[in-house]
Amino acid sequence: MSKIKLFYSLLKTNILSITRNKTAFFFTIIFPLCFVGVFGFAFQWSDPITSSKTIGIISYDTGIDESVIAFWNTSIVNQTFYSEEYIRVLDTVLFPESNVTIFDVHVFNQSEHEDAQELLESRNIMALVTLPENFSTGVLAAFRSKFGDDPILTAATGNWSGYPSSDFKTVLLVEGDSTLQDFTVTGTIIDKITQYFFNFGESPVEGVIIDVYGSLLTSGFTVFDFVLPGLIVYAILNNLGSTTDIALSDIERGTLKRLRLSKVTPPMYVFSILASQMVIAFIQIPITFATALLFGFPFSIQILYAFLPAIFLSLATSGMGFIFAGVVRNASAGRGLAAITATPIALISGAFFVIPNPTVIPNILGNSVGLFDLLGAAPAIRIFRGLLLHGNTLSNHLFDLILLIVLSALFLALGLFLYSRKHFKPE
């Protein structure tokens, strides 16, 4: 019990070191809010993104065998190529309360694949969707997976023996330049429509509009909406300075020596700093989000999911803070280094806009890892964007979450090694 009390006292002291220090308070709390205010003021009243995105589609769909679908007695019995219906949906989806279609769809023949690629590279089309040979089979498999061996359907259709297994999967390829914000938006909408299509919505066109666009935003999509998740990550990245400051000020002030003469152990001391940074991150998320709401950012309950990645982003940031504290000569050098590092990290991680991120690991668990992903902030930004803009859950970002956890563990291990080697051993 007294150990908990001791830990709580250290935690409280570390938090007060930020909230009672004007500079630290400004950089961790006020500064990110200023960013939200500036972006919100500058962009929130700009027009929503309502111009159609030009996309290309090439279909290699070979359709489905008549003998298989003959068991199905609905109106789509004669519709052999489900890809045609899919393309029709993409072509007719509208922006909400608008007659403007989201996509301007160009269908290419299989022989025109190279032309389509050239148009993609020249950015005349924003995304290129390639439908595989087994696309229609995949649709039927999804149908069986969703409805199962329903007894009524079974009675109506005879039996399900000719259907593809419900485990069968078909893979659509959506290509584009992932460094472009437009592709990020386009790709997400295509993904949502595809999910909806394979989920057999009752009213595809209307439903897709509500489902996809409604989950993005309720009243249009602006640059501010795109930037906000990055700003939350930027706020947490600013804690880099406070971790470095606490860890080094305790040495300069002599308080670490005094604490170490008491019953405070090095792990307890370090964990109290990490925990204080998590608490600060937990304060930053709701106040940044609440400020964004004032500037018209649509409320999303998905913000609750953001606390989990925030823990690991906070740990990764604290890890970096300990690395700085373990290598610099004094607290002012540490503070300076942290101050000039947080913003560039946010920038190259894509907090404000997406920038090119050269691939360093092409394929790990079916995902690629970019150079700037290794700083920890980029996966967090993708998760936050997915949660707040696209209405995703954490399961949609499992790879990024795992990457963030691994990176936070690595930063922490290195930071604590350097810090303890320099400051915990007797001189």
Partner 1 sequence: MVEEAVEAKNQAVNKSLKEIVVETKNLEKIYDGKVHAVRGVNFELFDGEVLGFLGPNGAGKTTTISILLGIIQKTKGDFSIYGKDINDYKTIRELIGYTPQELVFYDFLTVQENAELFADCYQIQNKKARINELFDLFQLTELKRRRAEKLSGGQKRRLNLVLGMLHSPKILFLDEPSAGMDPQSRHILWENIERLSKKEGISIILTTHLMEVADRLCDRILIIDYGKIIAQGTPDELKTTYGAEELIELIMDESLDAKLNDSFIVDLRKEFSKITFHENKIKIFTKNGASLIPDIIEIAVKLDVTDYIKSLQLRGSTLEDVFIGLTGKALRE
- In the complex, the residues that contact partner 1 under the rule CB under 8 A are 2-3, 5-6, 8-10, 13, 16-17, 20-21, 253-255, 257-264, 426-427
Q: Decide whether 1 or 301 has the Cβ nearer to partner 1.
A: 1
Alpha-carbon distance of 353 to 59, in angstroms, equals 33
Q: How far is the CB of 415 from partner 1 (least distance, A)?
A: 23
Phi, psi (5° rounding) for residue 156?
Answer: -75, -35
Is residue 338 within 8 A of residue 240, CB to CB? The reply is yes
Q: How far is the CB of 9 from partner 1 (least distance, A)?
A: 4
Q: Decide whether 144 or 423 has the Cβ nearer to partner 1.
A: 423
Q: Are strands 127-131 and 173-175 parallel, antiparallel or unpaired?
A: antiparallel
Is residue 128 within 8 A of residue 176, CB to CB? The reply is yes
Is residue 376 within 8 A of residue 365, CB to CB? The reply is no
Q: How far is the CB of 264 from partner 1 (least distance, A)?
A: 5
**Cα Rg of the chain (Å, integer):** 26
Q: Decide whether 12 or 88 has the Cβ nearer to partner 1.
A: 12
Burial of 155 (0-12, 13-18, 19+ CB in 10 A): exposed
Q: How far is the CB of 300 from partner 1 (least distance, A)?
A: 37
Is residue 324 within 8 A of residue 339, CB to CB? The reply is no
Alpha-carbon distance of 59 to 87, in angstroms, equals 9
Within 179-238, residue ranges assigned H as helices are 181-198, 204-208, 214-216, 223-237
Is residue 357 within 8 A of residue 349, CB to CB? The reply is no
Q: How far is the CB of 323 from partner 1 (least distance, A)?
A: 24
Q: Decide whether 23 or 359 has the Cβ nearer to partner 1.
A: 23
Q: How far is the CB of 268 from partner 1 (least distance, A)?
A: 10
Q: Decide whether 99 or 262 has the Cβ nearer to partner 1.
A: 262
Is residue 316 within 8 A of residue 411, CB to CB? The reply is yes
Q: Decide whether 203 or 262 has the Cβ nearer to partner 1.
A: 262
Q: Decide whether 14 or 277 has the Cβ nearer to partner 1.
A: 14
Is residue 274 within 8 A of residue 315, CB to CB? The reply is yes
Q: How far is the CB of 6 from partner 1 (least distance, A)?
A: 5
Alpha-carbon distance of 274 to 268, in angstroms, equals 10
CB atoms within 10 A of CB 75: 7
Q: Decide whether 255 or 330 has the Cβ nearer to partner 1.
A: 255
Q: How far is the CB of 420 from partner 1 (least distance, A)?
A: 15
